[in-house]
Amino acid sequence: MKKIVIITVSFLLIFPLSFLFGQSRYYESVSEEFRAGMERPLEVILDVDAGEVLVERGSDRQTGTISMRFTRDEFREKIDFDERKNRLKVSLDKKNWYKLKKSRNGRDDVWAEVVLRLPHGVDILFDSKVKAGEVTMKMGGLRLREFCLNNWAGEVDVSFDEPNPITMDYLDIDAKVGEAKFIHLGNARFKRADINGGIGEIEVDFTGEILDESKAKVDLDIGEATIILPGDMGIKMSIGGGFSFLSQKNIDSSLYKRGGFYYSDDYEDMDERFFIRVTPGLGELNIEIE
């Protein structure tokens, strides 16, 4: 009996080590640190074929980090920071979309993770493309001059929990297929925004410290869409084009229609105003006031 107990304990001690060793051989990790200059905006170009993507504010004013972990032999990574141009390029390419590697239990086991933490003391021009995966971007407090995201398929969650310290010239989001949430976009403090929703469910929340006289376009295709508008400024909204005649519209009762536009009740009395143009898709459109 004692021998059996000893053998069992020894197996339990050895198994986790061999499991971790196997995992380290199966996955590859890459990590780099970069220091942005202050003389010109930091350009960030992020291009990911597939995986889990997290972008958020880092702890340092000038130094940022990029780390990637992915299935060995299934991806090709590249991290390039050009100090002279103050430009960071990050790419993670899937080598073969049609040949998925099988794990020992016979299931598909192709996985990747990208984590980018950006410095919060430099102006940033941010351009990203993710073909498939789960995207989380926590952009609050970053000094963003431009923000662009193109997502082909998957879940997308973009939030601005703190105001942008500077004015954003342009915000451009295109989410083609899947579930997408864009929270407190008003804190991005954009002058102009273009948001495109493809097939799926989308929530676009414009609350926050939105700029006076800012303009936004929301173009929808198929699915359920909810648009949340700020309640502390005058709203002027147009709805039309696309599949407008086929969409089910639920519009907040505090908005009234005059001519070809919807207005908030206090539009004429408000000092700050926001204009939005919505092109409905095939499905349900909900317009709410905060």
Domain chopping of the chain, boundaries: 28-289
Lowest mean pLDDT segment, chosen from 90-99, 106-115, 179-188, 222-231 = 106-115
pLDDT value at residue 107 = 41
Find the mean pLDDT for residues 33-41. 97
Do residues 48 and 114 touch, judged by C-beta distance below 8 A? yes
Percentage, residues of the chain above pLDDT 90: 81
pLDDT value at residue 274 = 97
Q: How far is CA 184 from CA 57, 138, 211, 264, in A?
A: 16, 11, 13, 19
Find the mean pLDDT for residues 206-232. 96
Lowest mean pLDDT segment, chosen from 6-15, 30-39, 44-53, 75-84 = 6-15
pLDDT value at residue 7 = 36
CATH number at 28-289: 2.160.20
The pLDDT-based confidence of 152 (bands split at 50, 70, 90) is very high
pTM: 0.87
Find the mean pLDDT for residues 149-157. 97
